[in-house]
Structures are given as structure tokens and as C-alpha cells.
Amino acid sequence: MHIEYYFGNNLNLDEVIELYNASTLGERRPVNDKRIMEDMIKHANLIVTARDGNLLVGIART
């Protein structure tokens, strides 16, 4: 496993929602409302993502 980290909020929304649903984050976020989720990503001050190859495996948003 080789994890790489990236900064920025230019993300695939469906991929982010899939990650949130696969973790406990989906229980506390409006994953069923794409507009709100898109705004959460777009207006974040900082987003750090972790990828194992092309697979999104982690996200931190502030």
C-alpha cells in the first residue's frame, strides 16, 4: 500500500460521498443532498485527501 496525500477541493463529489458512506462520517453528514455536500467541499478552507492509487481512502476538511 502506498498512500499519497493531496491538498485542494477540486474533487469528484460522488467519490467523496462514497467515502463518507463507507465510513462513520456519512452518519453525521447530509450525504443524500448533493447540493449541500458540494457546497461543503467547495467552501472548505482546507481539504487534505489520502489516496491509495486512484482510490480515495481518506479526507479531512476544515
Amino acid, res. 43: H
Q: What is the pLDDT of residues 50-59, one digit of tens each?
A: 999 999 999 9
Q: Beta-carbon neighbour count of residue 29 at 10 Å?
A: 18
Q: What is the pLDDT of residues 21-50, one digit of tens each?
A: 999 889 999 999 999 999 999 999 999 999
Helix pair 34-42, 13-22: axis angle to 10 deg = 100
Give the start-to-end residue ranges of the domains of the chain. Answer: 3-61
pLDDT at 45 (0 to 100): 95
Band of residue 1 on the pLDDT scale cut at 50, 70, 90: confident
The answer to whether 16 touches 41, Cβ cutoff 8 Å, is yes
